[in-house]
Structure 1
Amino acid sequence: MRNKIIPYNPKLKAYARELRNNSTLGEVLLWQKIKGRALGVQFHRQVPLNAFIVDFYCHELQLAIEVDGRSHDFKYRYDAKRQGILESLGVRFVRFQDREVKQDMFSVILALQ
């Protein structure tokens, strides 16, 4: 099912806005490459889905992109649970390490095409 709208907690809107205004360098660099339908589809930054916020999301493809930096170092179980819940709603995930985005953007973009 494409372009499915996934409900979210409206209380997350303000936090998502805050995250957009305080993006990591890896998120900023990736955003510069995928914004404006650069890959043929539209992505949005820091999108509330269900009870969570994903770094980037394409409604058309139901695809979430996560850039995992130091804040994810000790959250493996939480991230896996969160991803499992969103995957049960039809969201597909692609995860990149922050250092991948910073050091090998070419491969990151290739993986998204």
Structure 2
Amino acid sequence: MTDPNLSAISGRHRQIPAILLRRARELRQRQTPAEQSLWECLRASRLYGYKFRRQHNIDRFIADFYCHEAGLVVEVDGTIHDRQQEKDAARDAWMESVGLQVLRVTNQQVQEDLEGVLVVIAERLRTSSPGPFSSQEKGR
């Protein structure tokens, strides 16, 4: 995704308040077991060559996982999200308004069906951008 407005809020040269930087660092150090499992599959461009960032600042929010190239935010929700559905919906609506797509999965889904979660993420990557899928990988 090459939208210059999106790059201003989520790209390499964006301005991030110090408090959000500290919070993202804390979240990276205290990942849930589900986040750790998913990160092992997404890190180092392991999923079809797409680069993901974890606990990535996007404007005033921190995304669990973010792929800038595809404009995809992946959120891994624990039980706290049952109590903040309105807040999450407003956050998702804002992200979608700036051109991002948001995929929410639960801790339980990641823990019980990691392969299925990866399939859904891969489908979103394929439909959101031309991406680096090689002809060899497209058949998988």
* TM above 0.5: yes
Residue 22 of structure 1 is aligned with which of 20, 24, 30?
30
Stretches of 4+ moved more than 6 A in 1?
A: none
- Contact kept, 8 Å, 1:68 with 1:96, in 2: the verdict is yes
1:91 aligned to 2:100? yes
Structure with greater Cα Rg:
2
Alpha-carbon shift at residue 8 of structure 1 (Å): 5.6
User: Residues 27-82 of structure 1: CA distance to partner in whole angstroms, max 9, x if unpaired?
Assistant: 00000111111111100000111111110001111110000111212000000001
Paired residue for 1:2?
A: 2
Paired residue for 1:103?
A: 112
Alignment partners' CA distance in 1, 2:40 and 2:107: 15
The two structures have a TM-score, normalised by structure 1, of 0.93
The two structures have a TM-score, normalised by structure 2, of 0.76
Paired residue for 1:12?
A: 20
Share of identical aligned residues, percent? Answer: 38
Paired residue for 2:63?
A: 54
Change (3 A) 1:64 1:8: farther
What SS does the corresponding residue of 1:23 show, helix, strand or coil?
coil
- Contact kept, 8 Å, 1:8 with 1:48, in 2: the verdict is no
- Which consecutive unaligned segments of at least 5 residues does structure 2 have? 123-140
Highest RCO, 1 vs 2 (Cα 8 Å, sep ≥ 6): 1
Alignment partners' CA distance in 1, 2:106 and 2:51: 22
Q: Which has the higher helix share?
A: 2
Alignment partners' CA distance in 2, 1:110 and 1:14: 32
Aligned residues, how many?
113
- Which consecutive unaligned segments of at least 5 residues does structure 1 have? none
